[in-house]
Amino acid sequence: MPIDGRHHETGEPIRVAATGGVITAVEPIGERPDLPTLAPGFFDPQINGALGVSFNSPTLTADGVRAVVAACRGHGIAAFAPTLVTGPFDALRHGFATLASLDDLAATLPVFHLEGPYISAADGPRGAHPRQHVRPPDADEFDRWQDAAAGRIRLVTLAPELPGALAFIGHLRKGNVVVSIGHTAATPAQLRDAVIAGATASTHLGNGCAATMPRHDNVIWEQLADDRLTAGVIPDGDHLPASVVKCILRAKTVARVYATCDASSLAGCPPGRYRVWGDEFEVTAAGRVVVPGTPYLAGSGHFTDHGFERLLNDYGVTLADALALTTRNARVLLGLPVPTLAVGQPAALIAVSETPEGWRVRPA
Ligand SMILES: [Zn+2]
């Protein structure tokens, strides 16, 4: 079925036809008042799983991965980076090998994200990562994961204050891996050293850090001020107040920010308490995923579409900027091609409409 809408760049009314997931025609049509805006689907560089399936699971299966991909597509996510977090060596090796074995999903899962285990062990910066598996950087261990992943680990989140971190950043850069600073209690000097060593991004800036910190010499100002760092933000309304998202966008400019949902393996699950690898998490009625009895969020219960609508409805971001933050900027950071609305391009599109209840997005 062809799709009618407005081209997100030109505003022109168009009809898009597709076969086998690829755009086969883009034709002009007559003006109509009800047309949604059409754009390439979301790319999210940080998704940990969904529907109870965790990419960290030592029993992750191909069917589990496919279920997460289907859930993500239902929220307009055309492609994403499966994200494996701090955990035991064998579980992560199994996860990366399982993901890399799915040849038919290579375009949907073009790269993988390793978040941890080389992060701060301190309460606060560590977030919900299990303390017993946090450790200093180990290039040999990473290389074995990268082998299991067939070279597709393209993003690593680490804390640069750990022993050996600067040399490890150099090791990753030689392998064409993007290094992102996160879950850290680094000093401003340590952050500057990390950038000199090759770090180019900040993972969910404003989260994964201490709840209280020095007013000036802290991890947020230093990363905000450094134009060499592209910042990830989680604009779901739970992880950051709107004022912080606005300040990050103004300080970095839109071109140096990307939005992520940081979907937890419990995203899409009904409210309740869940045990995931011995730890208990709670999905609240509002869709927050929390560590019960603590102030710590364990990722998000929402997908990228939720943050996209928040950017438009609550944070005063323009449609063009919201699309850049959710479909384009993380691809640029990772050196991935940026899809367009043209023949031969992926047909996984989103349709965006302004309704009396606010902006709404759906898969096209
Ligand atoms: Zn995190």
Catalytic residue among 236, 262, 305, 321: 262
Is the same domain home to 295 and 170? yes
Residue 197 CA to ligand 1 centre (angstroms): 22
How far, in whole angstroms, is CA 209 from its chain's centroid?
17
Where residue 226 sits, what CATH number does that domain have?
Answer: 3.20.20.140
Can 262 be counted among the known catalytic residues? Answer: yes
Residue 208 CA to ligand 1 centre (angstroms): 6
Is the same domain home to 7 and 145? no
pTM to 2 decimal places: 0.96
Tens of each residue's pLDDT in the chain, 364 residues: 899 999 999 999 999 999 999 999 999 999 999 999 999 999 999 999 999 999 999 999 999 999 999 999 999 999 999 999 999 999 999 999 999 999 999 999 999 999 999 999 999 999 989 999 999 999 999 999 999 999 999 999 999 999 999 999 999 999 999 999 999 999 999 999 999 999 999 999 999 999 999 999 999 999 999 999 999 999 998 899 999 999 999 999 999 999 999 999 999 999 999 987 667 888 888 888 888 877 678 888 999 999 999 999 999 999 999 999 999 999 999 999 999 999 999 999 999 999 999 999 999 9
Supply the angle between the helices 165-174 and 139-148 in degrees, to the nearest 10: 30
pLDDT of residue 286: 82
pLDDT of residue 125: 96
Residue 295 CA to ligand 1 centre (angstroms): 14
Residue 29 CA to ligand 1 centre (angstroms): 45
Residue 351 CA to ligand 1 centre (angstroms): 29
pLDDT of residue 291: 84
Taking the C-alpha atoms of residue 349 and residue 364, their distance in angstroms, rounded to an integer, is 5
Q: Cβ atoms within 10 A of the Cβ of 87, count?
A: 21
Residue 54 CA to ligand 1 centre (angstroms): 14
Is the same domain home to 36 and 47? no
Is the same domain home to 16 and 73? no
Phi, psi angle pair for 135, to nearest 5°: -155, 165
Number of domains making up the chain = 2
Residue 329 CA to ligand 1 centre (angstroms): 19
Is the same domain home to 25 and 48? no
Taking the C-alpha atoms of residue 285 and residue 239, their distance in angstroms, rounded to an integer, is 16
Is the same domain home to 162 and 16? no
Q: How many helices (H) and strands (E) does the chain have?
A: 10, 20
Domain that holds residue 271: 42-338
Taking the C-alpha atoms of residue 194 and residue 286, their distance in angstroms, rounded to an integer, is 37
∠ CA 283-286-287 to the nearest 5 degrees? 45
Is the same domain home to 327 and 349? no
pLDDT of residue 289: 87
Strands 13-19 and 297-300: unpaired
Is the same domain home to 101 and 207? yes
Is the same domain home to 72 and 103? yes
Is the same domain home to 364 and 275? no
Is the same domain home to 101 and 57? yes
Residue 127 CA to ligand 1 centre (angstroms): 7
Q: Please, which residues have CB less than 5 A from ligand 1, an ion?
A: 208
pLDDT of residue 277: 66
Is the same domain home to 9 and 127? no
- Joined together, the tokens standing for residue 282 give 């709670």
